[in-house]
Structure 1
Amino acid sequence: MLIDEDSTRANEGASKPLRILMATEYLPPHISGIANRCKNLIKGYRDNGHHVTVVSVAGTDCDIVAPSVPNPFYTAQRMFIAVPLLLLWQLLDFTTPVPYDIIHAVGPLCFPFIFAMPLFKLRGVKVYISYHVYLQYYKRHYFGDNLILGMIVEGLYLLFYFMPLVCFADVVGIPSRTADWCVFAYSKRIHVMKSGLDTTLFAPREDEAVSVAETLATPTSQLTQRVVPDQSSRAGPILVYVGRLAAEKNVDFLIASMKHPKLAKTTLVIVGDGPERQRLEGLAEEIVGADRVYSYSGSQPGDIGLLKQSSSKRVIFAGMITDERETARFYAHADLFVSASASETFGFTVAESLSCATPAVVVRSGAFATIYRMIDEWMFEEGNVEDYADKITRTFKDRVVARKVSRRIAVNQFSVEAAIRNLLKTYECIVDEREHELESLDAVKEK
């Protein structure tokens, strides 16, 4: 059964303080859409008067540190290897009530918590599992035509991880309807979560703030008809990509497309780091020439001043930026955000760019095609360089109105307040065992 993302609009306020245990390996200073989502939710829950205990890895702002090791597939991210002893003691001490009403465990990791789920259920703690990664895409991308190896890995994953995890889950949350088939096959109930961001932090440039604010009061039909020519003398757009540099993100496509004639005067700024960075730098040098590539290699990432390099450089690697305010400035001072990743389950960076009044030219695939239907005219077909270049050219030409439309979409569609109300209401229904309410909120039934 699928609880629709709009299911909690009625009776949005929480009636009593909840005791929430949030178990997540994804929190700042780790940079990802999942980490930002968890940070925003935790703050929002506490601001709304709920008691939140956070279990996470060393180096994060959490209440209980769980034993962890670097993720072998991405060493910048740590992964749990055991449930914290303090938490186990709370569950095993039957002389004292467990201080939690509900646990929200964040997947696709949290693997050791599988073994603690029977204890949570035995002690009356409700279980909400959120599942944020589209692993079917990873399977195709990393195993390709090796069907036997892919089937073995998928079988092990289902048997030892996913099925035991969702077996104990009262509800499985997903960011969008773009999710692995096993989510729909084995989950007892599915909740499509709202994904909110701080639209005051991710904001337009200061010189645009007034005009964009005025735009929010203008009917969309009128706004889209008011095409205002931009008198800027800039020859070509500055594109920004923000995200991890890994094979599944398809940054190769963005770099290789720089040789297209329509993008001859375009600059691509890449904000982020990852295992593919060195190879991508080499690819950029092949495509635009070594003298037109700038790679920041200091101990600290580059700042917004790197955009000044755009007069002489065509591909700029800015490195990993952990300060969200600085990331927001990169979005706001670029002309367009670009992404060719088809592996997203939500695409937080798209919402962030729109909130900064920066139009997003993204692939028409995966979650992008469903969540961001309102910007379909800016999307390109997967792998089609001609379509990609054409969308960049057209969107850049109409960028004055496109920037205003972008900000309006973000403020209206992706506020963090709506996401918090949405999840709190769902938690309440689970904790209070209001099955009739959950049943009435089911929009789609999957088998």
Structure 2
Amino acid sequence: MRIFIATDAWKPQVNGVVRTYENLKRELEAAGHMVTILSPLDFATLPCPGYREIRLALARRSQVAALLKEGNYDHVHIATEGPIGLATRGVCLRKGIRFTTSFHTRFPEYIEAYTGLPAWISYAFQRWFHRPGIGMFVATRSLKTELSGRGFRRLMLWSRGVDTAQFKPRAKMGDAEDAAAKAGPTFLYVGRVSREKNVEAFLNLDLPGRKVVVGDGPILGLLRSRYPDVVFKGAKTGEDLAQEYSNADVFVFPSRTDTFGLVLLEAMASGLGVAAYPVTGPIDVVTPGVTGCLDEDLRAAALAALKLDRDQVRVQAMRHDWSRVANLFLANIYQARRAAGLGKRLVKAHAAKHLHIKPRATARPIS
């Protein structure tokens, strides 16, 4: 298949959405498909107000239309509701091109936290954005239930994966700072250092040992000055990030607003037990008492997670493979297009040939 994916989140951003589509592209292309990513790299950009690390594209519909016409794509998927997503949506509607979408981020809650704009207004915009699509991909069952209650339709489950070859248990290694500070357990947070991630809920915990934060974001400087006893290591990727997971004893995930949390899988694949609130994301990914501990008392969860069997944590994470994620992505496309009466034979043939999707696996009704 020739697949066109429009996303406002792409490199050099470091977040779960970017990693999801990087891995999806790799897996689909390895299976023989052609994937084109339309991203901010294709346009002039401006820094996002209050979040300069994110660039907003000055997306032109004429440019998007030309790309779609030139590529003669079998399917269009819109990943985000930003300027690129809006431009692609507009072109598709004008040209009669059917498309699927994804719900990755709780922008309504984030916008309310930063600006005070009531979340219901942003949810009304998101319903408008996703309504014309023939399928809307969501990461977890609890998120699907929640969004269904908010009036979203044609919801389809599309989970996430982890590179278990990169994220795996390793011998603990570190710099001089690590060696000097390692008295007691290490509690780790990995992710954006921003208000919506609720990082201070972790930093305020009374825990033995030390706390380590890996990541960058708009409030990193503020938190560094406010919490001098916490080790802030900045953003890390690849082998350096994988080593940080292995150096820790517990992974603490304080966010209450994530739709999934790829870092949960990375931690678990590294044999690291998770401590989190019992909210969407953790309740769908973490097996309580096996791969992590969920509690409204985050300190109690963190201390309980110290006692988990790291080998068993790793075993559970091995179930989340990126090839399965790519498989499900194609299966959802086939299902959505079949329900809309579009291209059944083409999509089914390609899916069965390249990713070995059995027809019965795609027969789930859209709800």
TM-score (normalised: structure 2): 0.82
Q: 1:88 to 1:364 in 2, by over 3 A?
A: same
For 2:88 and 2:224, the matched residues in 1 are separated by 44
For 2:85 and 2:279, the matched residues in 1 are separated by 32
Q: Answer yes or no: is the 8 Å Cα contact 1:239–1:267 preserved in 2.
A: yes
For 1:394 and 1:438, the matched residues in 2 are separated by 38
For 2:90 and 2:275, the matched residues in 1 are separated by 45
Q: Answer yes or no: is the 8 Å Cα contact 1:166–1:186 preserved in 2.
A: no
1:418 aligned partner, one-letter code: R
Q: Answer yes or no: is the 8 Å Cα contact 1:177–1:367 preserved in 2.
A: no
* Percent pairwise identity: 22
Residue 102 of structure 1 aligns with which residue? 75
Residue 138 of structure 2 aligns with which residue? 174
Shift, 1:30, TM fit: 1.4
Shift, 1:366, TM fit: 2.5
For 1:332 and 1:84, the matched residues in 2 are separated by 46
Shift, 1:166, TM fit: 1.4
For 1:391 and 1:101, the matched residues in 2 are separated by 47
Residue 204 of structure 1 aligns with which residue? 169
Q: 1:76 to 1:363 in 2, by over 3 A?
A: same
Residue 150 of structure 1 aligns with which residue? 118
Q: Answer yes or no: is the 8 Å Cα contact 2:131–2:152 preserved in 1.
A: yes
Q: Answer yes or no: is the 8 Å Cα contact 1:273–1:319 preserved in 2.
A: yes
Q: Answer yes or no: is the 8 Å Cα contact 1:83–1:116 preserved in 2.
A: no
Q: Give the 3-state SS of the residue equivalent to 2:295 in structure 1.
A: coil
Q: Give the 3-state SS of the residue equivalent to 1:379 in structure 2.
A: strand
The count of residues paired between Structure 1 and Structure 2 equals 340
For 2:331 and 2:286, the matched residues in 1 are separated by 25
For 2:204 and 2:227, the matched residues in 1 are separated by 7
Q: How well do the aligned residues superpose, as a CA RMSD in angstroms?
A: 2.9
Q: 1:366 to 1:182 in 2, by over 3 A?
A: closer
Q: Answer yes or no: is the 8 Å Cα contact 1:238–1:266 preserved in 2.
A: yes
* Cα distance per residue 1:149-172 (max 9 Å; x no partner): 426xx42x355x424421321101
Which residues in structure 2 correspond to 1:247-396 (within 5 Å)?
A: 247-257=195-205, 260=206, 263=207, 265-285=208-228, 293=229, 315-321=230-236, 323-375=237-289, 378-382=292-296, 384=297, 388-396=298-306
For 1:178 and 1:372, the matched residues in 2 are separated by 13
Q: 1:394 to 1:426 in 2, by over 3 A?
A: closer
Shift, 1:178, TM fit: 4.3
Which residues in structure 2 correspond to 1:3-152 (within 5 Å)?
A: 18-58=1-41, 65-83=42-60, 85-90=62-67, 99-107=72-80, 109-121=81-93, 123=95, 125-138=97-110, 141-142=113-114, 149-150=117-118
Shift, 1:250, TM fit: 1.4
Shift, 1:184, TM fit: 5.1
Residue 7 of structure 1 aligns with which residue? none
Q: 1:431 to 1:72 in 2, by over 3 A?
A: same
Q: Answer yes or no: is the 8 Å Cα contact 1:202–1:355 preserved in 2.
A: yes
Q: Give the 3-state SS of the residue equivalent to 2:225 in structure 1.
A: helix
* Cα distance per residue 1:368-391 (max 9 Å; x no partner): 123323457832433x3xxx3333
Q: Give the 3-state SS of the residue equivalent to 2:168 in structure 1.
A: coil
Residue 241 of structure 1 aligns with which residue? 189
* Cα distance per residue 1:284-313 (max 9 Å; x no partner): 13xxxxxxx3xxxxxxxxxxxxxxxxxxxx
Larger relative contact order (Cα-Cα within 8 Å, sequence gap ≥ 6): 1
Q: Give the 3-state SS of the residue equivalent to 1:320 in structure 2.
A: coil
* Cα distance per residue 1:19-70 (max 9 Å; x no partner): 1001112223311111111100011111111111111122xxxxxx133222
Q: Answer yes or no: is the 8 Å Cα contact 1:28–1:36 preserved in 2.
A: no
Q: Answer yes or no: is the 8 Å Cα contact 1:55–1:66 preserved in 2.
A: no
Q: Give the 3-state SS of the residue equivalent to 1:353 in structure 2.
A: helix
Q: 1:324 to 1:84 in 2, by over 3 A?
A: farther
Larger Rg: 1
State which of 306, 330, 342 in structure 2 corresponds to 1:424.
330
Residue 313 of structure 2 aligns with which residue? 406
For 2:171 and 2:203, the matched residues in 1 are separated by 30
2:265 aligned partner, one-letter code: A
Q: 1:128 to 1:66 in 2, by over 3 A?
A: farther
TM-score (normalised: structure 1): 0.68
Q: 1:410 to 1:362 in 2, by over 3 A?
A: same
Q: 1:205 to 1:110 in 2, by over 3 A?
A: same
Residue 364 of structure 2 aligns with which residue? 441
List runs of 5+ in structure 2 lacking aligned partners: 173-181, 345-359
Shift, 1:432, TM fit: 4.9
Q: Answer yes or no: is the 8 Å Cα contact 2:40–2:84 preserved in 1.
A: no
